[in-house]
């Protein structure tokens, strides 16, 4: 998925000198190709994220299209106010890349884990939030980001999971992607890393509809109403706090327009207690296959 | 031809502050001469257009002084008498801090430590486009408590932004007291020099000196960004406001408004 991001960025930057890449001294090896292909468009702003975002805003006001790269624990969290005031208030075309979202940096602890980024950004006007599940969704997210002249946050979570699509899906901003059809009373709406888990778990039941949400803001209200009217229970899955992320969005829409039971699977308002492998951390947060399967079995009774 | 007479500018500030019953008069008064000199002699706007794409940028990072900039924009004809009279009235656009949605204001500031970085982005954009635009950023001495300012100074030097001039309004006060009491800054010029800036100190209310030093700095043959530490007086221009930090937050009454206007009227041109 990170390769899909890098390839799309390099291709775009080669043909458009307005595209600049700013990084806060992160992206080891990820930007080798970019630096080789477009060295003049690469700006390492140093370990100074606040200034980096302000500079990106100024560059955008001066006619450039900056991509601002950081770990999602820092971009957007450390620079939330710069994103709000310098970029979103003026609706500037700055694209924020938050890498390693969720508990990807499982062994590095709370400083590098990011399970609040969607919640924090959602309430800021003008920003679009993208959360691709695989490299195909990433490619389409980059297509959309490159032709949108507004602030965008592109969340990159665990990037080496199985693909969930067979080709690049043709979704537009706000659209959900149906991965599996199903008539079960329960359906899954997942985003990012949890889409592949949702698919695997659904296969244990059969007939469970699975939707991917590569775009969390905006989100197609009509489609969510449509889904909620066809199922008794909507289960949301995300590698993010159950507060303020995809589950909250779905619950907000359904409670207002089409009251349906929504069960939110995500991080349960807690930090990771221990370190370990990514798989260990996902299990510790009840987000691994077995835990989700058990939850789904219980809910499906 | 605009004169940017500082007595007129201060009267406009007082009119706004009284009309809007607003604060931050002291913050505006300390930068009146700096803005007058910049607008009169240094900032280029083709056809007097605040949105001229090749204009020089004036970034008021210490957004609290925005009434001084409004006063200059009024003189330029970018703001009307009604804008001044209706300050802070319902459904008007001129806010109490610099706001980029207003034509003529480049950044939204007031949350401190933002404008300098955005100004640096504008300066870098101009460098990359080779448009010869300058970027003038005014920061407060209180504002430079913010860590992002020092991040920005490192960046400006590293990227050789010789088209950037940072002016520090060193009035010696911040919201809750003197800078010495609240957070000692030491020698600001030394700090800017240590960060790689071509730095000069000026008397911030001496227009001739300001003009000369800005010219000297911008004509320097150096890749370094430029800085001026301007020694100013908070509340400058009205005796009972000068060096009295209550005028960071005090609103005008009819009496204080009238006596401030009268005092300005009585001053020698």
Domain ranges of chain A: 2-155, 177-299
Chain A positions in Cβ-Cβ contact with residue B123 (cut-off 8 Å) = 58
Q: Considering the entire predicted model, what is its pTM?
A: 0.97
pLDDT tens-place string over residues B8-50: 999 999 999 999 999 999 999 999 999 999 999 999 999 999 9
What is the per-residue pLDDT for A197? 97
- Select the residue from B59, B107, B121, B160 to test the A interface by mutation, using most A Cβ atoms within 10 A: B121
Q: Cβ of B117 and A62 within 8 Å? A: no
Say which of A46, A58, A81 has its CB closest to residue B121: A58
What is the mean pLDDT of the segment spanning A152-172?
A: 96
Please check whether residue B76 is in contact with residue B1, taking contact to mean a CB–CB distance below 8 angstroms.
no
Is pLDDT of A220 > 90?
yes
- Select the residue from A51, A87, A125 to test the B interface by mutation, using most B Cβ atoms within 10 A: A51
Interchain CB contact of A44 with B (< 8 Å): no
Chain B positions in Cβ-Cβ contact with residue A124 (cut-off 8 Å) = none
Interchain CB contact of A25 with B (< 8 Å): no
3-state SS assignment for residue A131: coil
What is the per-residue pLDDT for B219? 95
Say which of B118, B129, B154 has its CB closest to residue A58: B118
Question: Considering only CA atoms, which of A187, A227, A225, A228 is closest in space to residue A206?
Answer: A187
Q: Given pLDDT bands bounded at 50, 70 and 90, which one contains residue A71?
A: very high
Residue with tokens 């957070």: B183
CA B239 – CA B237 distance, rounded (Å): 6
- Select the residue from B56, B63, B106, B118 to test the A interface by mutation, using most A Cβ atoms within 10 A: B118
Low-confidence residues of chain B, pLDDT below 50? none
Please name the residue of chain B whose CA is at the shortest distance from the CA of residue A50.
B148
Please name the residue of chain B whose CA is at the shortest distance from the CA of residue A85.
B108
Please give the full DSSP string across B4-15, using - where no structure is assigned.
Answer: --HHHHHHHHHH
CA distance A227 to chain B (A): 40
Please name the residue of chain B whose CA is at the shortest distance from the CA of residue A58.
B121
Q: Cβ of B117 and A64 within 8 Å? A: no
Chain B positions in Cβ-Cβ contact with residue A85 (cut-off 8 Å) = 108, 111, 114
CA A17 – CA B125 distance, rounded (Å): 12
The C-alpha R_g of chain A, in whole angstroms, comes to: 19
Is pLDDT of A35 > 60?
yes
- Select the residue from A13, A21, A54 to test the B interface by mutation, using most B Cβ atoms within 10 A: A54
Q: Cβ of B151 and A48 within 8 Å? A: yes
What is the per-residue pLDDT for B268? 77
Please name the residue of chain A whose CA is at the shortest distance from the CA of residue B56.
A62
Please name the residue of chain A whose CA is at the shortest distance from the CA of residue B120.
A55
Matching fold, domains A2-155 and A177-299 = yes
CA distance B214 to chain A (A): 23
Please give the class, per CATH, of domain A2-155. Answer: alpha beta
Cα B217 to Cα B107, B163, B198, B244: the distances in Å are: 24, 10, 7, 32
In chain B the domains, ranked by start, together with CATH numbers, are 6-266 (3.40.50.970)
Question: Considering only CA atoms, which of A125, A137, A105 is closest in space to residue A218?
Answer: A125
CA A143 – CA A126 distance, rounded (Å): 19
Chain A positions in Cβ-Cβ contact with residue B151 (cut-off 8 Å) = 46, 48, 50-51
CA A174 – CA A247 distance, rounded (Å): 15
Chain B positions in Cβ-Cβ contact with residue A59 (cut-off 8 Å) = 121-122, 124-125
What is the per-residue pLDDT for B2? 67
Residue B129 CB-half CA count within 13 A: 19
| Fold exhibited by the domain A177-299 | Rossmann fold (3.40.50)
What is the per-residue pLDDT for B1? 55
pLDDT tens-place string over residues B104-125: 999 999 899 999 999 999 999 9
3-state SS assignment for residue B125: helix
Interchain CB contact of A90 with B (< 8 Å): yes
Say which of B100, B121, B126 has its CB closest to residue A54: B121
- Select the residue from B98, B117, B137, B163 to test the A interface by mutation, using most A Cβ atoms within 10 A: B117
* Mean pLDDT of all residues belonging to chain A: 97
CA distance B258 to chain A (A): 37
Say which of A45, A59, A85 has its CB closest to residue B125: A59
Helices (H) and strands (E) in chain B, counts: 11, 7
CA A116 – CA A201 distance, rounded (Å): 25
């Amino acid at each position: 998925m990170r390769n899909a991001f890098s390839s799309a960025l390099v291709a775009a930057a080669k043909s458009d000198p307005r595209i600049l890449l700013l990084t806060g001294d992160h992206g080891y090896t990820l930007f080798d190709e970019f630096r080789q292909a477009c060295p003049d468009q690469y700006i390492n702003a140093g370990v100074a994220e606040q200034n980096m975002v302000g500079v990106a805003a100024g560059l955008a006001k001066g006619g450039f299209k900056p991509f601002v790269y950081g770990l999602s624990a820092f971009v957007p969290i450390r620079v939330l106010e710069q994103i709000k005031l310098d970029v979103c208030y003026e609706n500037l075309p700055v694209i924020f890349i938050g890498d390693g979202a969720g508990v990807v940096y499982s062994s590095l602890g709370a400083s590098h884990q990011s399970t609040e980024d969607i919640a924090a950004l959602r309430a800021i006007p003008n920003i679009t939030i993208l959360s691709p599940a695989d490299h195909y969704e990433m490619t389409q997210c980059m297509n959309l980001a490159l032709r949108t002249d507004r602030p965008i946050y592109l969340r990159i979570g665990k990037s080496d999971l199985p693909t969930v699509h067979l080709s690049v899906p043709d979704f537009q901003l706000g659209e959900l992607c149906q991965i599996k059809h199903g008539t079960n009373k329960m359906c899954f709406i997942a985003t990012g890393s949890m889409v592949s888990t949702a698919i695997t778990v659904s296969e244990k039941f059969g007939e469970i509809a699975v939707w991917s949400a590569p775009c969390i803001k905006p989100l197609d209200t009509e489609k969510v109403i449509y889904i909620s009217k066809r199922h008794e229970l909507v289960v949301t899955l995300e590698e993010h706090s159950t507060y303020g992320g995809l589950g909250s969005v779905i619950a907000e829409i359904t409670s207002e327009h089409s009251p349906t039971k929504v069960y939110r699977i995500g991080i349960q308002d807690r930090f990771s207690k221990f370190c370990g492998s990514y798989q260990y951390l996902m299990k510790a947060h009840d987000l691994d296959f077995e835990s989700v399967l058990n939850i789904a079995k219980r809910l499906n009774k | 031809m605009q004169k940017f007479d500082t007595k007129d500018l201060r009267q406009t500030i007082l009119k706004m502050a009284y009309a809007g019953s607003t604060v931050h008069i002291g913050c505006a008064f300390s930068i009146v001469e700096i803005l007058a000199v910049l607008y009169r002699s240094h900032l280029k706007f083709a056809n007097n257009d605040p949105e001229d794409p090749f204009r020089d940028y004036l970034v008021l990072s210490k957004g609290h002084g925005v009434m001084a900039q409004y006063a200059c924009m009024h003189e330029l004809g970018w703001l009307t008498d009604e804008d001044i009279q209706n300050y802070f009235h319902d459904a008007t656009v001129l806010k109490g801090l610099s706001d980029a949605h207003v034509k003529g204001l480049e950044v939204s500031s007031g949350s401190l430590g933002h404008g300098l970085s955005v100004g640096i982005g504008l300066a870098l954009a101009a460098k990359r486009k080779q448009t010869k635009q300058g970027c003038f950023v005014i920061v407060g001495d209180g504002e430079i408590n913010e860590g992002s300012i020092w991040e920005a100074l490192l960046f400006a030097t590293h990227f050789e932004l010789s088209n950037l001039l940072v002016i520090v309004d060193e009035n010696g006060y911040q919201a809750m007291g003197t800078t010495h009491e609240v957070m000692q800054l030491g020698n600001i010029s030394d700090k800017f020099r240590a960060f790689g800036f071509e730095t000069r100190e000026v008397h911030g209310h001496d227009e001739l000196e300001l003009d000369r030093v800005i010219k000297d700095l911008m004509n320097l043959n150096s890749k370094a960004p430029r800085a001026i530490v301007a020694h100013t007086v908070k509340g400058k221009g009205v005796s009972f406001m000068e060096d009295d930090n209550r005028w960071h937050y005090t609103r005008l009454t009819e009496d204080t408004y009238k006596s401030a206007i009268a005092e300005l009227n009585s001053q020698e041109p």
